[in-house]
Structure formats: structure tokens, C-alpha cells
Chains A and B, each alone.
Chain A
């Protein structure tokens, strides 16, 4: 890890854990750390467009408050003063929340999401809201109504989606921590293509209260970070039972940070998913995957092959379940109570206002999925589409259960390719949807999944390795992730992100 100390640029290169340690030993203040990040954002975000809103005053106020309390000897949360960015699909009181859409342009929520309440309770300065595919629908952040976010590794390329803003912000050292949400891979896939860590917790681990819903039975918020330990730390802040979310789980998790620090995989059984290797996955992406497994095997893990035969239907099932639920969840955006309202000049009725508002406020991909979902739920089609998809979902869950009888975790490459060029797949929805092929099964089953950088692949761009675990066994992912990260960084001589190109910056 970089040593703390001289110069704000150094501060932004620290991991969250290191920043916390620096504040604890007095070598840096929370305000210095906040300012360093705000400066970095001012410097590079013009180019990257990772942030939709920067909350400078709010972040500094929190930081100063932390410094005051620490000076007074108050006991603070371990992450107090460590800044965090929040994906704009999460509701923040008093701070604009757009979900990447025009239909919520300028909307200021009157309440905080539960996970935001927990960030604030830990006194973590919120740097701002990050860019995303509109209503989390996408794998490239290109459907955002506010322009795409650019991958810090190559600004002509996508940072992944839907949470490209959070991943780019962390990869570019604009924030050490970010919150993402993952419905079909929207935390993990951006992690893979930006060389960062992305974790989708067990469904129900983190409260969904305050997450603008896309697919209620699939959505889950989670940490976006540069290290596995940081992800564990952040997960512990935001996770936990919430009475306001009837689907949130009450306990049953082992410590994430302990697991992340274990650095031991002796005897760990890792199942390589047959259906998620070979064709469709780029050769160097696959090579980094295989090399990572070899390292783990050398360290004492047992690598076996497992088959999840129903995974081949997962994409189809997902693209029925998700649009169906999303079409319902997005019905509330109608210009009646909040957000954009478009009033047609002639004969404005409630219905015509709703139509005009949604017609203008929603982008093409959102409309596409609403149409698909509305159709799939229509009378006479329920059994054939949504009903059948839910049955496939059960089969996918059974595949997981069966596999986990013989292995502790499963593994696959996170995404089929490295980052593609902006504009390359935007006109080919099916090609775009294929990006999620490895990540979707975990959302269907509600099981946790983590992506950690596996190395540089095609075009010198990052690839990720994904691990999957049973429901509520998130700690296993932190264990194997933390161990592999250490092994890889040893072999690289430092973190992968050290090799990312310098951003041009606004000039100092």
C-alpha cells in the first residue's frame, strides 16, 4: 500500500483502510482527505463524467465534524471520515437523485435510503452521486440521460454498467469507496472492466429501502472498492436487517472483514462452472481466469469442475423477470406527484400528461424494457413468460444448491470481454445483454457474487474473476477474494490500478 503523508494526491491513492489508519494515527485529517478527493474530482471528472452531482459543502461539513469529534476524544466508527460516492439510483435526502434519467431531473428526495442513513451514522462524507445507465438498465452506462461515463483505463471505452460511474470514480481515485447496485451484474461487470472490486451481497443482506427499484426480486446494493478488505468494511456498514424492507434478512452472516484478512484458502473447494467458460469468453480474459485459479491451487485450494446445466436459460429468464418487474416499478413515474411533468398544449388530461411525460422522460432502452415487461405480464401471456421464467429461476437455484454440495465457492470469468468502445454495442441490445451472462445466475438465485481484478487482458485492459457462494455465505467470497488479491498483487508487484494510464486532468 502507498504510505500516507505528503500531498493530497497521495491521500487519494490510499485504500479506505489505510485512510482510516492515517486519521487514527493523526497523519491526516478527514478534511484533508475530503479536500483531496474533491480536488481530484474537479481535476478529472470533466473527462470521465463519473459524477452527476458533487456535494462539496455536505462532504466537507461531515469531514470537519469528524475531525472535531476525534479531537474531543469521541469514539468514532472505524470508517468515519472516509469518503464515499453513491450511485444515483439510491435516494439521498436534500441531494438530487436522478437514476440517470430525465424523468427525475432536479428531483430532491425528502428522505434518505437506509444504507445512506448508515453511511451518515458512520460519519462518512458523501462526495456525490455517480452516473449510471438510466434506471440501471444497461451494461455500459451509455443509456444515461446525462452522457456516458468513460473508463479511466481508456476514455474511449465504456466503464461497464449499469454502475459505471461508481466503478470509474473508484478506479480513477476520485473516491476510495462507492455504493453500487446489482440486478444482473451492475456492480460486478463494471468492476471487471475497470480493475476494481465489485461485490453483490446475498439478496436481503443490504436494505433496499431507498433504492429506486428496477427489479424488486433481483436488486441488491453493494460495495465498489479497490481492495477486498475495503469492500468487506463497507459491506459491514451498509448491511443488516431493516424493518422497512420486508425482504431484508435478520442476521445469519459471519464476519466479512475477518474473512477478508484471513489470506488462507487451504482446503477451499472451488468449482469452475462448465457452462461459463469456452466460447463467448475472450481468450485472454479466459487466460487470466485460469492463471488466477492456478495461483489459488498452489496456495492449497482444490479446483474442480461443476456443471450448472440450467445456467444456459438464465439470461432468457432474467430478461423476462426483470422487465416485468421493472415495467411495474416504473409505472409511478407519470408526472403526477414528483419529477418531470410534460403538459401537452391541447386538451391536457391526466392520461395525456402521463403519456407525454413518460414519452419524453424515458430513454429508448427503458421504453424497450417497459414494453417487454408489460407484454410479458399481459393476460394470457403470464404463464408462458413470467410464470415460466420463475420456474427456470427455481431450476437455477437448484443448480446452485446441487453444486454447493460438493464445492464451497464457484468461479467464472466475470464478463465475456474487456471494455468495448463507446457506441460499439449500443445499437445491438442482444449483444449488450450478453455482457451479463456470467453474472445473472447469482441474481436469480439470490446468492452473493464478487468480482476481483484477475489481470490485464485484450488491449491491455482489465479483466475480472467472479466467485459465487451460497446464500448468506458472503464471508467465503471475502476469504477467497482477499487471498487471491494478495497472491495476484504479489505476482504483479503492486495493485493492478498502479498500471492504469494517467488521466489528462484539467491541468493543475
Chain B
């Protein structure tokens, strides 16, 4: 936190100013090799091992384009409803920095491979019951290579300030990236933070659905730069923006937007001008601080990359890719929502919990959507939290869950026994049906066994019997407990109730 920042409370700020956002997302493509050379595209532990002379930009080396990366870039462009360029070139973006092996980055300048698209972003409505949809317009998506990674040693913050020396690891240099740039995102008002986070989450889900990237923000596969500006009202011209770079979680994106809106409002309220600059987000307190002052057109001296030939994807190839695209997450959610009949809120909770896939697979294995949701959002969600893992990491399969539910539906076990069985499945003891069989956990429906237990309970609880006969039928509950205990919880509760009522000559 910079002591100097005057922060206007968020609600106040958004009452009086109209926020505008701009978000740049970089995604690392999951190709086998790098963008322009054959070095492996892997997360290598040992520094400077996933490199070739080309990755290092050694004198005399030349780039060779990774065709798979082009295909992935086109996939992303199509998923974002973009036009795919008929012909486009790479360009050199030139600046000096030790993590850049050639002191230029091979990127695309005025000829991106994809441009002029949009993506709809869903956020919960303000009252919490429904969803609101914002359409984010995409200006462009282009291909480029990643830089290496600097580690600054010796200072207290790990940043360059105060460091005694720096180490450079070029494992990441040359990894294929696609950069996606939005047009100014307007009309979000107080929902700006949520829209920003939801936009990046939507992109992340798309990358995974397309199978073009592992898309893990915490691994740096997906990076977001968040631009915020304020203006007096939607008719006013755009205000000066600040850019917060490398915000690496959805929560942080929300906080960044919140903080920047408050900070800009503080400056504007005092009649000051926002400085156009690069900022960094601080995890510890949700604040941002100034990085370096950014002149708007930092002169990168772009010119077309002479070592590469233009990329001209044929229209046939683009259509081939388009027809091979999988169902995208938003479309899939809408379809499942219709099929399953959940409420918007239920659907959202399911999506946020990562239970969409397991539920879909459990339904495919024969269970009803509601029962699948009950298990995955109930008992299994609880277990996952306890074990501190994701739902899909639990030691139970959707098929097993479906089987478990079927045992209940067939009245072979009750809910209580089911939870016990589930515990055993998670412990690796096998399939539900096999466990029930092996341990004799099936509900007891044998009348002779039940009758014996009922007789015992009636004999043991004359006062309860009296109550029931006196008209208080609910008092049966007090008898069910001991009977369940006597039958190790396996008594068919419904049948037990019938027998008791029958014996006591009472209508239930």
C-alpha cells in the first residue's frame, strides 16, 4: 500500500464515476515445442535446460514457425467469434531487456491472426438469483513468443529494487503465446470487478475446452493485465488509464479493479490527473503500486519479421478447424441447464464448485441430475474440502456414485447406509454394490427380523407405546432409533413404521 493513495470507497466512486476496463490476457499454448524452435515446451525445473541455440538467439540462428501454434491460435480466434486473417505477418517488437534473447520479441503488430470478435460473460445478478450477461468485444488475438524469466537476488522484495544481481532462466523464452486484447469494456458500472474476473475465467474455461492450454493461472499459463480508467459519465471521453500487470488470480483481478477505481476517484476528486503508468498488484493487502511510468507509444520500432514468411491460413483449413471445435463452456452450460432443470443459482454453484463434469458423467451413468447434484455438492464436496483437493481428485468415480444412488432407489440401502458405503468407496474398498454385498449392509426387509426388533422396542418403551396409542403418532420416532441401532441401521424404516402401527392397531 502506498501511503499516498487517497481511496474513495468503491460504492461512492462508482456512484459518481463511470469505470471503463481494458484487459489483455496472455495464454501459454500447450504445444510440444516452442513457437519458433524445437526446444521442448515443458515446465522444466532445472534452469536453462529447455533451450536450443535458436531459443537463445545465438548469432546466426533463425526462427521456424510452429504450425500447431498457428492452429491453436486460430481455434482461440474462432471460439472468440473473430475474423481469421487471410494473410498475416510476424513483426519484431524491439526493446532491450535481459530476459529477451534477441532484444526483440517476435510478435504480430498490425496484422493479428484474429480480430474483431466478442465473448459473452456471465456474472450473478445483483439480487443473486439470476445471471447477467455482458458482451466483451475482442479487438484482436495475436501470436507471439514469451520471454525468459528474471530472478532478482539480494533485495528484500524479490523485485529489482535493492537486488545485488539477477539470474536469467531462458526455459520460458520462446514459449508460444496468444495475446487477447479487448476493446474498452464499458457499461459495467458497479459490477466492473466481477465482470473483469468473470471475463478472464471465461477465457480460461474456453482454453481448457479447446485443449490449447492447461490454462492454470497459478502456473502462469494465463496472465492478465488489467487497465482501468474513470470518466464522469458514459458520454464523456475516456479517462487516462493505468495498467496493472500480471495479476495472477481471479480474486486478485477483482481486487485490482476495486482498488484502482477507488484510487482513480481519489485523484480525480482532488482535481488531479491520473498518471498513465504500469502498476503491480500486492497480494498482501489488495493494493497496487507504481511500477514504471509508461509513455503511451513506447517506441518498439516495429517492422515485419524478415526471417519468416507470411501466414496465410486457407479458408478450407479455417473451416475444418471451426467444424472440429468442441462445444464451448457457455453453450454447454446452457444446454445442461435445460436438460437438468436446475435453477440459475444451482447451476452457478455447480459450475463454481467444478462439479459440472462429475455431474454430467454421473447422469450419463444412469443417475438423475438432482441426485447427482445432491451427492457431488453435498457429501463429496464436504469430503473434498476436508481433504483439500478438487472434486475430480476424489477416489470415487461418477459411475460409482450412480451405482450408489441406484442402490438407494432400489431400496436396497437407505441414505445413512449409503453415506457409510461412500466412505468405504473413498477408502478404496471397491464398488458400492460389492461393498454392500460383502459386508451385508443391505437394508433388512425380512419381516421376521424386523418384527423381533419391533417387539423388543415395544417391550422396552411402554411409555412411548402409550403415547402412540393415545394419538401421538409422531412418537414412533422414539422407537425407530433403538430399532435402527438393534439392526445396525439396516432396518427398512418405512416397513418398521408399518409394523409398529399394525401391532398397536393405530392408523399412521
* A residues at B contact (CB < 8 Å): 90-91, 97, 99, 104, 107, 109-111, 113, 208-213, 215-217, 243-247, 324-325, 328, 331-334, 336-338, 350-351, 354, 374, 377-379, 382, 386
- Expressed in whole angstroms, the Cα–Cα distance for A216 and B60 within the complex equals 10
With A246-B308, A328-B94, A331-B102 known to touch, is A382 a contact of B303 (CB < 8 Å)? yes
Minimum Cβ distance to chain B for residue A429 (Å)? 23
Set of chain B residues within 8 Å of A325, measured between Cβ atoms:
303, 306
Residues of chain A within 8 A of B94, CB atoms compared: 328, 331, 377
Distance A386 CA – B62 CA, assembled complex (angstroms): 22
For residue A386, which residues in chain B have a CB less than 8 angstroms away from its CB? 303
Enumerate chain B residues within 8 angstroms of A109, measured Cβ to Cβ. Answer: 58-60
B: residues with CB less than 8 A from A are 53, 56-65, 92, 94, 96-98, 101-104, 166, 168, 297, 299, 301-303, 306-309
On chain A, the residues within 8 Å of B166 by CB distance are 350
B103, B104, B303: most-surrounded residue (chain A CB, <10 A): B303
Q: Are A211 and B306 in contact (CB under 8 A)?
A: no
Q: Which residues of A contact B103 (CB under 8 A)?
A: 331-332, 334
Whether A332 lies near B57 (C-beta < 8 A) is yes
Closest Cβ–Cβ distance, residue A392 to chain B (whole Å): 16
Report the Cα distance A2→B121, complex, angstroms.
83
Contact B60 A328 (CB under 8 A): no
B98 touches A350 (CB 8 A): yes
The residues of A that contact B101 with a CB separation of less than 8 Å are: 332, 337
Task: Assess A374 versus B96: contact at CB under 8 Å? Given A217-B306, A246-B308, A247-B309.
Answer: no
Give Cα A208–Cα B309 distance, bound, in whole angstroms.
14
Asked if A97 and B303 sit within 8 Å, CB to CB, the answer is: no
A351-B96, A382-B302 provided; 9 other pairs, C-beta below 8 A? A97-B59, A110-B58, A111-B53, A210-B60, A247-B309, A328-B303, A332-B57, A334-B96, A336-B98
Instruction: Give the complex CA separation of A359 and B301 in angstroms.
Output: 21
Instruction: Answer whether A244 and B62 are a contact pair too, CB < 8 Å, given A336-B98, A336-B168.
Output: yes
Determine chain B's interface SS by DSSP, over half rule. Answer: loop
By beta carbon, the residue of chain A nearest B96 is: A354
Beta-carbon contact of B301 and A91 below 8 Å: no
Report 18 cross-chain contacts, Cβ distance below 8 Å, ordered by A residue: A91-B60, A107-B59, A109-B58, A109-B59, A111-B53, A212-B60, A245-B62, A246-B307, A246-B308, A324-B303, A334-B96, A334-B98, A337-B57, A338-B58, A338-B59, A377-B94, A377-B301, A382-B302
Contact A379 B96 (CB under 8 A): no
Residue of A nearest to B300 (CB): A379
B62: which of A107, A209, A334, A336 is its contact (CB, 8 Å)?
A: A209
On chain A, the residues within 8 Å of B303 by CB distance are 324-325, 328, 377, 382, 386
Query: Given A379-B297, A386-B303: A332 and B65 within 8 A (CB)?
Result: no
**Contacting pair B307 A216 (CB below 8 A):** yes
Question: Which A residues are CB-close (under 8 A) to B59?
Answer: 91, 97, 99, 104, 107, 109, 212-213, 332-333, 338
In whole Å, how far is A331's beta carbon from the nearest beta carbon of chain B? Answer: 4
Contacts of B58 in A (CB 8 A): 91, 109-111, 337-338
CB distance from B304 to the nearest CB of A (A): 9
Q: Which residues of B contact A354 (CB under 8 A)?
A: 96
Q: Which residue of B lies closest to A387 (CB)?
A: B303
Q: Of A324, A377, A378, which is in contact with the most chain B CB atoms at under 10 Å from its CB?
A: A377
Report whether B301 and A374 are in contact in the complex, using a CB–CB cutoff of 8 Å.
yes
Q: Which of B59, B166, B302, B308 is most buried by chain A, counting CB atoms within 10 A of its CB?
A: B59
Question: If the complex has contacts A246-B308, A331-B104, A379-B299, are A337 and B63 also in contact, measured as CB distance less than 8 A?
Answer: no
Measured between C-beta atoms, what is the minimum distance from A329 to chain B in Å? 8
Does A337 contact B96, Cβ atoms closer than 8 Å? Answer: no
Which chain A residue lies CB-closest to B163? A349
Residues of B within 8 A of A328 (CB): 92, 94, 104, 301, 303
CB A72 to nearest CB in B, in angstroms, measures: 35
A378→B103 CA distance, assembly (Å): 16
CB distance from A388 to the nearest CB of B (A): 13
Given contacts A216-B307, A247-B309, A332-B57, contact A208 B102 (CB under 8 A): no
Contacts of A324 in B (CB 8 A): 303
Residues of B within 8 A of A213 (CB): 59-60, 307
Give the docked Cα–Cα distance between A338 and B51 (Å). 15
**Nearest neighbor of B305 in chain A, beta-carbon distance:** A216
In the complex, A247→B166 CA distance in Å? 36
How far, in angstroms, from A107 to B58 measured CA to CA in the complex? 11
| Contact partners of B302 in chain A: CB under 8 A | 377, 382
List chain B residues, Cβ under 8 A from A244: 62, 64
Q: How far is the CB of A420 from chain B (nearest CB, A)?
A: 31
Inside 8 A of A333's CB, which chain B residues have their CB?
59
Chain B nearest CB: distance from A410 CB in Å? 26
Q: Judge whether A211 and B64 touch: CB under 8 Å.
A: no
Question: Quick one: which of B62, B63, B166 has the most chain A CB within 10 A?
Answer: B62
Q: Contact: A208 with B62, CB < 8 Å?
A: yes
Partner of A379, one of B57, B62, B97, B301: B301
Q: Which chain A positions have C-beta within 8 A of B92?
A: 328
Q: Which residue of A lies closest to B301 (CB)?
A: A377
Give chain B residues whose Cβ lies under 8 Å from the Cβ of A351. 96
A246 to B90 CA separation, bound complex (whole angstroms): 13
- Report A497 CB to chain B, min CB distance, Å: 32
B151 CB → nearest A CB, Å: 13
Residues on A with C-beta less than 8 A from B307 are 213, 216, 246-247
Chain A nearest CB, measured from B92 CB (Å) = 6
Find the A residue at minimum CB distance from B37: A244
Taking CB atoms, residues of chain B closer than 8 Å to A208 are 62
Please give, as numbers and ranges, the residues of chain B lying within 8 Å of A247 by CB-CB distance.
306-307, 309
B102–A332 touching, CB < 8 Å: yes
User: In this complex, which of A97, A209, A217, A386 has the most chain B Cβ atoms within 10 angstroms of its Cβ?
Assistant: A209
Q: Among B53, B56, B61, B103, find the residue whose CB has the most chain A CB atoms closer than 10 A.
A: B61
Report how far A216 CA is from B168 CA in the complex, Å: 27
A354 vs B97: C-alpha distance in the bound complex, in angstroms? 9
Known: A209-B62, A245-B62, A331-B94. A378 touches B104 (CB 8 A): no
Query: How far does the alpha carbon of A351 sit from the alpha carbon of B292 in the complex, in Å?
Result: 15
**A337→B60 contact, CB < 8 A:** no
Q: Which residues of A contact B97 (CB under 8 A)?
A: 350
Q: Which residue of B lies closest to A215 (CB)?
A: B306
A113 in contact with B60 (CB, 8 Å): yes
Which chain B residues border A215 with CB–CB below 8 Å?
Answer: 306
Chain A to chain B: the 7 pairs with minimum beta-carbon distance, closest first: A331-B103, A216-B306, A377-B301, A91-B60, A217-B306, A212-B59, A210-B60
Which of chain B's residues has its CB closest to A89's CB? Answer: B60
Q: Roughly how many angstroms separate A394 CA and B56 CA in the complex, as a whole number?
A: 34
- Could you tell me the distance between the alpha carbons of A334 and B57 in the complex, rounded to whole angstroms? 12
Give the Cβ gap from A203 to chain B, nearest Cβ, in Å.
Answer: 11
Across-interface contacts of B98 in A (CB, < 8 A): 334, 336, 350
Please report the C-alpha to C-alpha distance between residue A14 and residue B20 in the assembled complex, in whole angstroms.
Answer: 77
Question: Could you tell me the distance between the alpha carbons of A446 and B301 in the complex, rounded to whole angstroms?
Answer: 25
Q: In the assembled complex, how far is the CB of residue A347 from the closest CB belonging to chain B, in whole angstroms?
A: 12
A377 to B93, CA, bound (A): 11
Q: In angstroms, how far is the closest chain A Cβ from the Cβ of B74?
A: 19
In the complex formed, the residue of B with least CB distance to A242 is B62
Most chain B CB atoms below 10 A, which of A90, A107, A210:
A210
Query: Within the assembled complex, what's the spacing in Å between the Cα atoms of A113 and B63?
Result: 14
Residue in B60, B96, B168, B309 whose beta carbon sits within 8 Å of that of A246 in the complex:
B309
Q: How far is the CA of A428 from the CA of B62 in the complex (A)?
A: 34
Chain A residues near B60 (CB-CB < 8 A): 90-91, 109, 113, 209-213
Nearest CB to that of A212 among chain B residues?
B59
Cα–Cα distance between A208 and B101 once the two chains are bound (Å): 19
The closest CB in chain B to the CB of A373 belongs to B301
Name the residue in B63, B98, B299 with the highest tally of chain A Cβ atoms < 10 Å from its Cβ.
B98
Interfacial chain B residues near A245, Cβ < 8 Å: 62
Assembled-state Cα–Cα distance A337/B307 (Å):
22
> With A and B bound together, what is the CA distance between A351 and B103 in angstroms?
12
Does B53 lie within 8 Å of A243, measured CB to CB?
Answer: no
A156 to B295, CA, bound (A): 53
B102 to A, closest residue via Cβ: A332
Neighbouring A residues of B306 by C-beta, 8 Å: 215-217, 247, 325
